[in-house]
Amino acid sequence: MNKAGRILLKLGSATKAVLAFFIVIVCASINGFGQNQNLSGGTVFDGEPYLAIDPNNSHHLVVAWLGYVPLKKFIIKVRASFDAGQTWSEPVPIPHSTSRFTSADPSLGFDAAGKVYLAYIDYDPRFTAGAVYVRQSTDGGLSWGDATEVINMASDPGKRPIDRPWMVIDQSAGSHRGNIYITTMTAKGASAPFHPYFIKSTDQGASWRPWRYADTTGWLAGSIIPQPMASPVVAANGTFHCVYSSWVLRQNLAPQYILASSADAGRHFTYHTVFASSEVFSDSLAKKGYLLLADPANAHHLAFFYLAAPHGDADVFMRESFDAGAGWSEPVRINDDPAGNDRMQDLLWADFDRNGDLMVAWRDRRNAPDSGYATSSAIWGAFRSRDSSHFSSNFQISDTIVAYDSILAAAGNDFMCVRLREDTLYAVWGDVRTGKMNIWFQRMAVPSGAVVSTRPLSSETIPTIPQLSQNYPNPFSPAKAIPHSTVKNAGASAGRRMAQTIIRYRLTESGEVRLVVYNLLGRAVRTLVQQRQPAGSYAIRWDGRNEAGEPVPAGVYFYQLRVIGKFQLTRKMLLLP
């Protein structure tokens, strides 16, 4: 007999019926995987998606992307999920600093405590003004605080040092835990020489230290490569690393990738060459971004991913270091289609799981009818176990091959993003299967490659079915709880008053709503909502107290959303001492 059955035998008949209902609902919510999603659903263009996962809760996802809005140009939009992507919050638009500005280049990061941060550019399209900004969310990505400026267009005169900001956060147990690091590069039209930039915050993004160059004499990016992007990571021991491109003839006759490392939060850097190559990959449309990763299970293990064309067409390669970047392996070709088959790959991304397993993904054209960039493609990937030196056979991540559209040649489609957590892959990317550029989300099991779901992530319409999301945080402790409150369409004020746990739900039509917390015996503990509400999104805060205002015991609780005469939904939560 299973555990649920043994519990039922110990309870009375009235309680059995209630608890049996709860068990069925909870098991369905835990084991069910959503289908593929269109996250953005914009009518013109959505691009540059970035995905982050809460280090304390692998079901808590946050995605940001760039979306076009008439009269507002491009703005950053953010959605959060608390059930591993089965349901998503309404998209939250991030306002411009001034009305004439447009936005680009979002990236996200969690700190070790579960706060989430958003970095992005907001600038004048004529490149006369603008800056990199960071915002913080204390409610899991549902709302965002005020923007703080990191570096602006005039910080380094003539250099426009605000392009392609990447953000990483120190989640280690070291002395720099919680530091936020931003790297940027010179934008188009800047004067030579060109540089990568390094900026840090030691107070959760409230202020930013003066910027510095990430390169230095003898390890300069130079005057030939106009945008030397720095790809940053923080290793498990708190060491900051970044890789940037360089071509200075007096340093090296061939272009090279340089690793800059700092064990003291950017006060001092050491440098090593990752590799140098005179090979030229000439397709101007290909998305050639590179990526540096640090293995969470081994502070000395770094991996660098890049495109190269030793066989004539672009392939995905990796080099590794097991001594914190002092030495690097020979390249490993990851895509396993025939070498030299005149089918190029691009748009790469990768991620380590916390145990050292590795996932790599890219846009693949092995099944395309033509060569070059302007042909059909799909998203593919490969998995490598921490115990293996070899990658799995490649497998398709997206569920369809998408025909080429000329919009793919435009800027704003330079990256996809993948995350690997507990043998589950989460991926976001842009494609044009709907006739528009939208952001798609997929969740799948690895290493089996079994597709769980692929859905457009960008739809901004209220869903046709009501939804009850997993509370956040979960589990939670009532020790620091504050009284609950109801927040309609959770706005910016919600982020400044974080309750002990938040229960979110959506109504597709008006009705008499009851939201009740039950204990494991099926007895009502607290009625959180009992009123008529219109269609929309809601967030309810609970402080772990009963109707009398007394703290309830630690344990498993259920919360049930019921619209009288229409539906009821139930989920489980865990309250800690």
All domains of the chain, ordered by start, with CATH? 33-91+279-286+295-460 (no CATH), 462-575 (2.60.40.4070)
Question: What's phi and psi for 18, nearest 5 deg?
Answer: -65, -50
The alpha carbon of 237 is separated from its chain's Cα centroid by a whole number of angstroms, namely 22
pLDDT tens, position by position, 487-505: 333 333 333 334 479 898 8
pLDDT above 90: percentage of residues in the chain: 70
| pLDDT higher than 50, residue 365 | yes
Task: Report the distance separating Cα 490 and Cα 496, nearest Å.
Answer: 11
| Mean per-residue pLDDT of the chain | 87
Beta strand spans in 254-398 (E): 256-262, 270-276, 291-294, 302-308, 315-321, 332-333, 346-352, 358-364, 378-384, 395-396
The CB-side HSE value for 57 (13 A sphere, CA atoms) comes to 24
Is this structure's pTM higher than 0.85? no
For the record, the structure tokens of 378 come out as 């799909």
Nearest alpha-carbon partner for 67 in 439, 329, 389 = 439
Task: Report the distance separating Cα 286 and Cα 475, nearest Å.
Answer: 44
* Strand pairing report for 467-468 and 501-507: antiparallel
Task: Report the distance separating Cα 162 and Cα 120, nearest Å.
Answer: 9
pLDDT (0 to 100) of residue 479: 65
Confidence of residue 486 (pLDDT cuts 50, 70, 90): very low
Question: What's phi and psi for 28, nearest 5 deg?
Answer: -65, -40
Confidence of residue 235 (pLDDT cuts 50, 70, 90): very high
* Strand pairing report for 196-201 and 180-185: antiparallel
pLDDT tens, position by position, 288-337: 999 999 999 999 999 999 999 999 999 999 999 999 999 999 999 999 99
Buried b (16+ CB within 10 A) or exposed e, 532-556: ebeeebbbbbbbbbeeeeeebeeee
Determine contact, residues 85/441, Cβ cutoff 8 Å: yes
Task: Report the distance separating Cα 166 and Cα 206, nearest Å.
Answer: 18
pLDDT tens, position by position, 23-76: 333 333 323 333 446 766 666 789 999 999 999 999 999 999 999 887 768 999
pLDDT (0 to 100) of residue 563: 92
The alpha carbon of 317 is separated from its chain's Cα centroid by a whole number of angstroms, namely 23
pLDDT (0 to 100) of residue 455: 62
**pLDDT greater at residue 23 or residue 434:** 434
Residue 433's alpha-carbon distances to 37, 46, 405, 422, 440, in angstroms, are 12, 13, 9, 30, 10
pLDDT tens, position by position, 116-144: 999 999 999 988 999 999 999 999 999 99
Nearest alpha-carbon partner for 30 in 4, 64, 48, 7 = 4
| pLDDT higher than 70, residue 17 | no
For the record, the structure tokens of 446 come out as 């690895």
Task: Report the distance separating Cα 179 and Cα 187, nearest Å.
Answer: 25
Q: How far does the chain reach from its first CA to its final CA, in angstroms?
A: 30
pLDDT tens, position by position, 251-263: 999 999 999 999 9
Q: Which of 92-96, 209-213, 571-575 has the lowest mean pLDDT?
A: 571-575
| pLDDT higher than 50, residue 215 | yes
Kindly state the DSSP code that residue 482 receives in the 8-state scheme. -
For the record, the structure tokens of 503 come out as 């229960």
Return the CA Rg of the chain: 25
* Strand pairing report for 130-137 and 148-152: antiparallel
Per residue, what are the HEC states of 374-408? Answer: CCCEEEEEEEECCCCCCCCCCEECCCCCECCCHHH
Determine contact, residues 457/34, Cβ cutoff 8 Å: no
CA angle 103–79–135, rounded 5-degree value: 50
pLDDT (0 to 100) of residue 459: 55
Nearest alpha-carbon partner for 273 in 319, 314, 232, 229 = 319
Q: What is the number of other CB atoms lying within 10 angstroms of the CB of residue 368?
A: 19
Beta strand spans in 138-239 (E): 148-152, 163-169, 180-185, 196-201, 212-213, 230-234
Question: What's phi and psi for 414, nearest 5 deg?
Answer: -90, -15
